[in-house]
């Protein structure tokens, strides 16, 4: 079984913020596949179903970003998930707004949610998909990531969320190498 986890913060206050890119992608995957993400289990909002012939669990941890690893640890342990079958989706302000980057494994970088995930799992040996949210400019980075997406960025972000959902489906359908070749682009302007 694949576990597809989008990182974010629960609640209306954080809806459509830059830090909730993972939640937005999971919601988009759910729309595309008909999976309902409406059960609370393992400190997460979850939904299970089939994606490209594979059993999949869509996950939106409800522990707040900085404790995302608590929920994912429970899920990985409960289902006996291999690290290669866990895909984590999150925002990255080191990538240009709208850019997507898929990696087979890696570090947390400066992302506190990923620090929690890697710390609780004891490993960074799992695939991840990052969505660029751009630089904060003059804003404090904390205010920037939990801030609403600017109106001039909404189309770019919506396109990135849609491409990211397609990329995750491609990972399940064709493998991560194919998805990396197809979706890892430096900028949304390259399309």
- The answer to whether 188 is annotated as binding is no
Single out the catalytic residue among 19, 42, 111, 120.
Answer: 19
Annotated active-site residue 120? The verdict is: no
- The answer to whether 66 is annotated as binding is yes
- The answer to whether 112 is annotated as binding is yes
Q: DSSP characters for the chain?
A: -EEEEE----SGGGTTBGGGHHHHHHHHHHHHHT----EEETTEEEEEEEETTEEEEEEEESS-GGGHHHHHHHHHHHHT--GGGEEEEEEETTS-TT-EEEESS---TT-HHHHHHHHHHT---S-EEEEE----TTS-HHHHHTSBPPGGGHHHHHHHHHHHHHHHHHHHHH-HHHHHHHH-BS-GGG-
| Binding residue numbers for tRNA | 14, 64, 66, 112
| Binding residue numbers | 14, 64, 66, 112
Catalytic residues: 19
């Amino acid at each position: 079984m694949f576990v597809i986890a989008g990182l974010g913060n629960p609640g209306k206050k954080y809806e459509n913020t830059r830090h909730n890119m993972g939640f937005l992608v999971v919601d988009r995957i759910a729309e595309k596949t008909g999976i309902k993400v409406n059960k609370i289990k393992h400190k997460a909002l979850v939904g299970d179903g089939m994606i490209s012939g594979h059993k999949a669990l869509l996950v939106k941890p409800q522990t707040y970003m900085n404790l995302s690893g608590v929920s994912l640890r429970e899920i990985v342990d409960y289902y006996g998930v291999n690290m290669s079958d866990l895909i984590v989706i999150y925002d990255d302000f080191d990538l240009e707004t709208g850019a997507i980057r898929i990696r087979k494994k890696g570090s947390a970088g400066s992302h506190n949610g990923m620090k929690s995930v890697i710390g609780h799992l004891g490993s960074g040996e799992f695939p991840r998909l990052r969505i660029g949210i751009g630089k904060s400019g003059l804003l404090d980075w904390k205010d920037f990531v939990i801030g609403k997406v600017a109106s001039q960025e909404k189309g770019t972000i919506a396109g990135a969320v849609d491409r990211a959902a397609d990329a995750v489906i491609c990972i399940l359908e064709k493998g991560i190498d194919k998805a990396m070749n197809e979706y890892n682009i430096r900028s949304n302007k390259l399309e």
